[in-house]
């Protein structure tokens, strides 16, 4: 594979910081598959699918660095130290993270620790849940008729609270489509902030849990009802949440539902008199 695609050699003492995508092994990059095949140590997070770890060499050391069973996750510093230690031991270290390592994945922090320790590294981007996970639910994050921008937000600060460094009002007013990571816990508060900012409580929302895995579930709801519906349906984490008119496109683009449940797809999901969020009507007319 390496020669065929001109992939780089994985040298001893290097760390490859790679994204594993949202779950489906088919969404791995060739670089990530190559890294898995060559690594002596794979340091992985909770969101990395077992089918992906199964691609590692049988002799590879698998090091779990995530949160499991409600126990606190290892400190970021400890994970970085472990990477440095393994690399200094002459190992080829694959640091494997769910989605993309640089999207709400603390990949930058780990990479900076490697820089400080003078450990050579490579970054392998991955398919992030906010685009790829939604695509598996039949939702394009942008669509010409509905939105010319999209905002990705974390619903969880380092302290576990609703992030306070964001201008929620401005985002609610200014971003036609909003994609929320890690937002299940605070969904009620977040939705009410957007409604206060003028978003319609009836605006469509999709909550996609375990996207691209066999456990994928999609809940379609509205901004006003999202938190209650998520609780009632007992939707599990990890889930990616999309707010905006693009959610309606699912009626036409739920290719996975068509494939697995024989869902009939509507070629005109927005309807002839479709309308973007009234707040953005002027911008597109």
Tokens at residue 26, please? 């088919």
- Whether the upstream peptide bond of residue 238 has omega within 30° of 0, thus cis, is yes
Residue with smaller CB distance to ligand SAH, 211 or 276: 211
CB of residue 278 to ligand SAH, shortest distance in Å: 28
100 near ligand SAH, judged by CB under 6 A: yes
125 near ligand SAH, judged by CB under 6 A: no
- Whether the upstream peptide bond of residue 272 has omega within 30° of 0, thus cis, is no
253 near ligand SAH, judged by CB under 6 A: no
Q: Which of 11, 57, 67, 167 is catalytic?
A: 67
Tokens at residue 134, please? 């939604």
28 near ligand SAH, judged by CB under 6 A: no
Tokens 């937002």: give the residue: 183
Q: Which of 24, 40, 182, 248 is catalytic?
A: 182
Q: Is the dihedral of CA 223, 224, 227, 230 positive or negative?
A: negative
45 catalytically annotated: yes
Rounded-to-integer distance, Cα 190 and Cα 155, Å: 8
What order do you get walking across the sheet with 217-222 strand by strand? 150-154, 177-181, 239-243, 204-209, 217-222
Q: Which of 99, 138, 172, 204 binds ligand SAH (CB under 6 A)?
A: 99
22 near ligand SAH, judged by CB under 6 A: yes
98 near ligand SAH, judged by CB under 6 A: yes
118 catalytically annotated: no
> Which positions lie near ligand SAH, rule CB under 6 A?
22-23, 47, 97-100, 103-105, 128-129, 133, 181-182, 208-213, 237-240
């Amino acid at each position: 594979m390496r020669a065929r695609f001109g992939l780089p050699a994985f040298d001893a003492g290097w760390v490859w910081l790679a994204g594993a995508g949202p779950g489906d092994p088919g969404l791995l990059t060739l670089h990530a598959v190559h890294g898995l095949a060559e690594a002596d140590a794979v340091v992985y997070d909770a969101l990395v699918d077992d089918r992906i770890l199964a691609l590692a060499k049988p002799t590879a050391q698998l090091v779990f660095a995530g949160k499991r069973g409600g126990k606190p996750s290892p400190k970021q510093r400890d994970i970085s130290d472990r990477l440095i230690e393994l690399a200094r031991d002459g190992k080829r270290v694959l640091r494997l993270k769910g989605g993309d390592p640089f999207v709400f994945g603390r990949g930058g922090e780990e990479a900076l620790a490697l820089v400080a320790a003078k450990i050579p590294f490579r970054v392998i981007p991955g398919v992030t849940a906010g685009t790829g996970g939604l695509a598996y639910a039949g939702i394009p994050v942008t669509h010409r008729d509905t939105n010319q921008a999209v905002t990705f937000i974390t619903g969880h600060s380092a302290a576990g609270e609703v992030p306070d460094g964001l201008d929620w009002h401005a985002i609610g007013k200014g971003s036609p489509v909003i994609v929320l990571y890690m937002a299940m816990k605070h969904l009620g508060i977040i939705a009410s902030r957007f409604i206060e900012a003028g978003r319609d409580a009836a605006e469509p929302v999709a909550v996609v849990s375990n996207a691209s895995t066999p456990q994928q579930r999609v809940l379609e709801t509205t901004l006003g009802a999202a938190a209650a519906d998520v609780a009632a349906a007992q939707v599990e984490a990890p889930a990616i949440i999309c707010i905006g008119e693009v959610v309606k496109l699912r009626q036409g683009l739920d290719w996975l539902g068509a494939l697995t449940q024989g869902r009939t797809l509507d070629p005109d999901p927005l309807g002839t008199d479709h309308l973007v969020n009234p707040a953005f009507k002027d911008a597109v007319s």
